[in-house]
Structure 1
Amino acid sequence: MKKTNDNLIVVAPASGKVIPLEQVEDQVFAQKMMGEGFGLEPTNGNLVAPVAGTVMMVADSKHAIGIKTDSGVEILLHLGIDTVELKGTPYDLKVQVGDHVEAGSSLGTWDLDLVRNNGKQTTIIFAITNSSEVLEQLEIEADTVEVGKNVANLKLKTVSEKVERSKSNEGNRFEKTAQKVIDAVGGPDNINSVIHCISRLRFYLKDINKPDDDIIRNDDHVIDIMRAQGQYQVVIGPDVVDVYDAVIDQLGTEFGDEEGTEQAVKATQPQGPDNRNFLEKTKDGFNNFIGVITGSMSPVIWSLAAAGILKGLLSVLTMPQIGELLSPKSNLYIILNAIGDSVFFFLPILVGFSAAKRIGGDPIIAAVIGGVLVHPTLTPLAGKSLGMLGGFNFPMVQYSYSIFPMILAAWLAFKIENYLKKHLPSYLTMIFVPFITILIVSGITIYITGPVIVGISKWIAVMISWVLVHSGWASGILVGGFHQVLVIFGLHWGITPLVVNDIATTGHSYLNALICQTMISQGAAVLAVAIKTKKTNLKSLSFAAAISAFCGVTEPAIYGVNLRYRRVFISGLIGSAFGGFITGLFHGNMYGFAGSWIGFASFFNPSNPSDLSSFWIFLISSVVSTIIAFIAAYVWGYNDKMEVGKKVEKPINPSKK
């Protein structure tokens, strides 16, 4: 890091793609609890110092390095997500505490494949842990960077005085925090062991449901609590080491040694006979299954939504009713249509890449297999026979717009990759692992699993459409009135794959048309709160949440306001039940993924621009949903005398587990 007046230039710690800190899949960093910064998805394992300064910390598990510059800026380089559990095995670091490093000098290397094969993510997180004291502004200078090249510019505050903390006073407070946390998690009798990473105390508990979350959250040193990876995680922030030391002082060193931790980790995993009952096994299996499917599609969903909006707008521009503003034969239409179609046509490549990242396989190998399935020389063979073997006919099917065949292919590739890496000599793995994996999985998918899964996918889509059409208004009320209830418990993630499969397989979704109304009505309910309340903070929060809901993202409305004033949430359910009734009664259909008011273009039929029936159904249903939800919330659902309820936790997406 080079100092230029009050600016500090940060160089890339690795080659790769820079992402906003908010998109990092670790809520502690994403919510900037550890300070401002950015994420980086590395393409190789070379690491360099992003700043010049003194190495102040190297984590025992080697997954994090702390550097302090001469000007007092404290930098944390966090290598991967949840990699503390790997106990340093992927890392070969060349620095230790006390070393002076220059910007761009080598810190060492790490094995990205080993991290991924253990089911962890390789995202590098750059955080300025004393941002509030030193940072005025952070400017990212590049989206894709090479190691050692400029990546960000820090504008620093003018610091006139440094206030030294009293270590003795801090120590007393840490001891009080440690005692409070130990008592609140159930005392030593409920603790197997405790470890810490750069921001969190990670407790392995005998009963993870026993802790009193509210008591722990109310401590001044605690930022938040989480339950993940079989751990009870107490988010502390930069003072985590001090609090951890205080915890171990009170519990005893046997609770914090590596052997105890390893035993606790094993205790959370199946060992020996599995004594879980059938329902527990089924539930865990289903959650894992949904987690893989949802995690494979989550990175693609918003691209599908954007593409659907573009396709809908093209339908509007080609309508005969408005004079066909854009000819379907024009070059502009062809280009825009290709932009809208590309995410659907190449869906197997995108899903394969994200599925491999979720499972822990090689994303490039999976993407190549997806490319095989949609290769231009194979797509014309769709519907033709690839040959007969033992009386079985092997048909070629169309894989563009398909999802599930590629998820299974990514899983097969992951298994074969791991097998080959264990049995091939190391000097052969770089060439023969991709070669053999791509060859075997492509063949199995094209000849066997692909045709079977595509057939099942089409059957599921047709059955859903048949049920919704024939049940009409009844399914409209049911889905409209209760879908957001599923959201509260996280059960809607099991429905998302069905919606995506509908659109990818048939080009439309009756189910998504009903779900669309639930977003609109929750937005209308929180809008009523924004207009009625005289509380400044609640008014601004509610207006922002309403805009977000009308743009298709309801979480700020639901978890920020509506559920905390339960009648507001119920008002939204009433509104969407009426909207769902109209949509189901008249068989409203949806041709894109984007919902709520911003998704209006998804109700235009791309294959028949002159057909406006679904758009009119959407418009009438949405107006009804908005008016009824707004009136219900304004008249009955909310007043300023109501006491706010406890914050409702957003359920964990299975794709993040």
Structure 2
Amino acid sequence: MSKKINILAPAKGQVLALNKVNDEVFSSGIMGEGFGLEPLEGTIYAPVSGIITMVADSKHAIGIKTEDELEVLVHMGIDTVGLNGEGFEVFVKQGDKVAAGQKIATMSLETIKLHNLATTVMVIVTNSTAKLEGLDLEEVETNEKASVAAAYVKSAVVKDGKLDYDALADVIIENVGGEDNIKSLIHCITRLRFGLKDEQKANDEVLQDTDGVIDVIHASGQYQVVIGNEVTAVYDAVMKKLPNLSDNDEAEEETSESKGISGAFNQLIGIITGSMSPVVGVIAASGIIKGILALLTLPQLGNLLNVKSEMYITISAMADAAFFFLPILVGFSAAKRLGGNPITVAVIGGFLTYPQMIAWGKAFKDIFVIGNVHFQFLNYTYSIFPMILAAWFAKKLEDYLKKILPSFLQMIFIPMFTILVVSSITLLITGPVIQGLANGIADLINVVVHSSGWIGGLIIGGFYQLLVIFGLHWGVVPLVAQQIAGSGESALNAIISVTMVSQGAAVLAAAIKTRKNDLKSLGIAAAISAFCGVTEPAIYGINLRYRKVFVSGLIGSAVGGFITGLMHGSMYGFTGSLIGFSSFFNPKHATDLTSFYAFLFSSIAAILVSFILTWVWGYNDSMAQGKKVEKRKLNK
């Protein structure tokens, strides 16, 4: 990605390409890229806007620094330093601000010619190597202050070897069509998910070719910019530059794309994504802690930690907190996504996890009975879907109350009515129905995966990462969380885990095999990310661009899924891939290592199959990289 800056003619005259200038220092490009001009008149104008950084004592040269940090030198005549200022008059001083086209100096063409010197005016970008991708030039006879060249400034998204998030945010905003084209923005683990008014205004090719952007995806009714592990920092930078932007799009007008079954499905995925993505990190971290605790209680390791000790109970409480109070976390997150009041919905979640409510829920105490219908309390700790629906109801009710209540009553009575009404509806109707369905579906999937054994493992392992390409895996994430929350384990997640390992092994093979330095560094970083449970950098950065690498990963994960299913492996935590090894220890039966062995054997198989296939078939340096565009070639 580059930014175009127009450079004006500093005087009236004939513009010359740099290599036609009669001076070896300038024409060779040693000083930098630029152009010459044979002046017809002696008045000199600023070719760019900026700050005057230098005025030579001999008055023959002036330096200007633009806001994009281009350092532009205006050099009047060749070898004119020896005139010691004779024939020159300068109207600016160091530190002055100048606008492009502003008069900055005069030079006496007659005086210079009397000394047998060339009058050529040079305009040189002295920091071209660091700042320019190229320079377009028109060799024409021109008037002063006319645009004769275009400098393409390198995007400043990398600074001192690290991403400059503010600069990257500017590039992204500009190339999704500008601020006016953005309706909403949320993010998941690796992607910025924009709601755009017109996706045709977005510049896919420029974004794909920007440092810090892995790829661009059109899916789920969203314009998705794949960033990778640094997505949160980039999201914060974008939101800082768009203070009036909401991170919800629930109140947007319906478009033709949002109607119908497809539109409803896209909206549902968007709501689930926005509700769950901020919560996934703490669930994953909690799962790792619980797995490590289970590991430390293994008799094979000498019972390093006693399950009845204060330390175990304290650390276990830290891990359990995210699951126990999941309704509060999901409710808060869902309300933000939908544009409601997050605090109000968090209070509703707090009501569902209130100790007395939990005690009555565990005992299935009757709230009241109508005929033969018993309305009972349920235990809503660890629940997800009831709170997403509660957040939606709360948003609708808040909007209605804002229309009918006077403004001076809204601050107190909107939260009051919302808490009373939505809590009651959730407790009596939607909670039991949604929770019952969610638990039933989650348990059914667990049973099917367990019972199908190697068949389920082979199919899910072979195809799961295809869902990641389109962002549809977010429809599976809540089900996995529901399984772990409800039954304490997820056979589905055990298979999903090995798909991450295989994509990491495939990209690692490509990184080790290649002699391309940029591909090697990207591949190693992407492999580490995949082994830590995030495969998007591997998939979009390399594997999909060299499709055989991706297919090699799918074959490896099919083999790994086959072994996991054959051994009936299961997971007891959320975090997958190699970093999630501790999630395969059963916290309730520390001596049962069946799932850990399933993880170990399936991961080894997936790594070997994916790595070897990629090495011998999936990748070589002669392969053409797909989809991502080359940088624009500019005239020098």
The correspondence for 1:628, drawn from 609, 612, 625, is: 609
**One-letter amino acid matched to 2:443:** V
Deviation at 1:514, TM superposition (A): 0.6
What is the SS of the residue equivalent to 1:440?
helix
Taking structure 1 as reference, are residues 630 and 608 closer, same or farther at Cα in structure 2, changes over 3 Å only?
A: same
Cα distance between partner residues in 1 of 2:381 and 2:371: 29
Which of 492, 500, 507 is the aligned partner of 1:511? Answer: 492
Question: 1:200·1:233 contact (CA, 8 Å) conserved in 2?
Answer: no
- Tell me whether 1:306 sits opposite 2:285 in the alignment: yes
1:202–1:232 CA contact under 8 A, matched in 2: no
User: Counterpart in 1 of 2:418?
Assistant: 437
Q: Structure 1 residues 170 and 611 mapped into 2: Cα distance closer, same or farther (>3 Å)?
A: farther
User: CA–CA distance in 1 between the matches of 2:533 and 2:299?
Assistant: 29
User: In structure 2, what residue type is equivalent to 1:357?
Assistant: K
CA positional deviation for 1:624: 0.4
TM normalised by structure 2 equals: 0.63
Q: Amino acid of the residue matched to residue 320 of structure 2?
A: D
Partner Cα distance (2:492, 2:542) in 1:
26
CA RMSD of aligned residues (A): 4.1
Change (3 A) 1:431 1:510: same
- Which residue identity is paired with 2:394? A
Return the match for 1:345 from 324, 338, 349: 324
**CA, structure 1 residues 629+395, in 2 after alignment: closer, same or farther (shift >3 Å)?**
same
CA distance 1:456–1:169, shift in 2 (3 Å)? farther
Equivalent runs, 1:549-628 vs 2, <5 Å: 549-628=530-609
Q: 1:458 aligns with which of 417, 439, 444?
A: 439
How far apart are the structure 2 equivalents of 1:294 and 1:212? 24
Pairwise CA distance, 1:647? 2.7
- Cα shift at 1:457: 1.2
Compared CA separation, residues 226 and 369, structure 1 to 2 (3 A): same
Larger mean Cα displacement after TM superposition, 388-397 or 614-623: 388-397
What's the offset of the Cα at 1:206? 11
Supply the distance in 1 between the matched residues of 2:175 and 2:99 (Cα, whole angstroms): 23
Identity %: 55
Q: Displacement, 1:385?
A: 1.3
Give the distance between the partners of 1:494 and 1:400, measured in 2 at CA.
21
Contact 2:219 2:470 in 1 (8 A): no
Letter in 1 for 2:358: T
CA contact (8 A) 1:457 1:505 kept: no
Partner of 1:288: 267
Structure 1 residue 216: Cα displacement: 9.9
Tell me the SS of whatever aligns to 1:646.
coil
CA distance in 2, matches of 1:506, 1:232: 36
Q: CA deviation at 1:294?
A: 2.1
TM-aligned CA distance change 1:369 to 1:132, over 3 Å = farther
Tell me what 2:389 maps to.
408
CA distance in structure 1 between the partners assigned to 2:431 and 2:272 by the alignment: 16
- How far apart in 1 are the matches of 2:413 and 2:440? 38
In 2, distance between residues paired with 1:374 and 1:533?
A: 53
Q: Quick check: 393-402 or 639-648, which moved more?
A: 639-648
Which of 351, 360, 377 is the matching residue for 2:339?
360
Deviation at 1:411, TM superposition (A): 1.0
For 2:176 and 2:551, how far apart are their aligned partners in 1? 41
Aligned letter for 2:622? K
Q: Tell me which of 513, 521, 525 is aligned to 1:540.
A: 521
- How far the C-alpha of 1:439 sits from its partner, in A, is 1.0
Which residue, 380, 387, 406 being the options, matches 1:425?
406
Contact 1:582–1:621 under 8 Å retained in 2 = yes
Q: Which amino acid aligns with 2:534?
A: V
Q: CA deviation at 1:380?
A: 0.7
The CA distance in 1 between the partners of 2:99 and 2:276, in whole Å, is: 48
Q: Distance in 2 between matches of 1:216 and 1:329?
A: 54
Inter-partner Cα distance in structure 1 for 2:445 and 2:472: 18
Q: Do the aligned partners of residues 587 and 363 (structure 1) sit closer, same or farther apart at CA in structure 2, a change above 3 Å counting? A: same
Q: Residue type of the partner of 1:488?
A: I
State the partner residue of 2:121.
none
Q: Using the alignment, how far apart are the partners of 2:384 and 2:475 within structure 1?
A: 15
1:319 maps to what in 2? 298
Larger mean CA deviation between 382-391 and 320-329 belongs to 382-391
Q: Is the 8 A contact 2:217 2:470 kept in 1?
A: no
Distance verdict in 2 for CA 1:303–1:230, change over 3 Å? closer
Paired residues of 2:220 and 2:270 also in contact (CA < 8 A): no
Q: How does 1:392-403 map to 2 (within 5 A)?
A: 392-403=373-384
Contact map agreement 1:202 1:233 (CA 8 A) in 2: no
Residue 448 of structure 1, CA deviation = 1.8
1:490 and 2:471 equivalent? Answer: yes
Give, in whole Å, the separation in 2 of the partners of 1:224 and 1:606.
39
Q: Is 1:332 the counterpart of 2:324 in the alignment?
A: no
Question: Amino acid of the residue matched to residue 569 of structure 1?
Answer: F
Q: In 2 relative to 1, CA 582–227 (structure 1 residues): closer, same or farther, beyond 3 Å?
A: closer
CA distance in 1 between counterparts of 2:483 and 2:383 reads 10
Which residue among 604, 614, 620 is the counterpart of 1:639? 620
Deviations 1:432-451 (A, max 9, x none): 11111101111111122111
Please name the residue that 1:146 is paired with.
Answer: none
Q: Which amino acid aligns with 1:375?
A: Y
One-letter amino acid of the structure 2 residue matched with residue 558 of structure 1: I
Task: Determine the C-alpha separation between the residues in 1 that align with 2:253 and 2:627.
Answer: 33
Q: Deviations over 1:289-314 (max 9, x none)?
A: 12112211110011100000000000
Is the 8 Å Cα contact of residues 532 and 634 (structure 1) preserved in structure 2? yes
Amino acid at match of 2:422: V
- Does the C-alpha gap of structure 1 residues 208 and 556 become closer, same or farther in structure 2, counting only changes over 3 Å? closer
Q: How far did 1:217 drift?
A: 8.0
* CA distance, structure 2, for counterparts of residue 634 and residue 441 of structure 1: 57
Number of aligned residue pairs: give it: 444
| CA-CA distance at 1:481 after TM superposition | 0.8
* Residue identity matched to 1:370: G
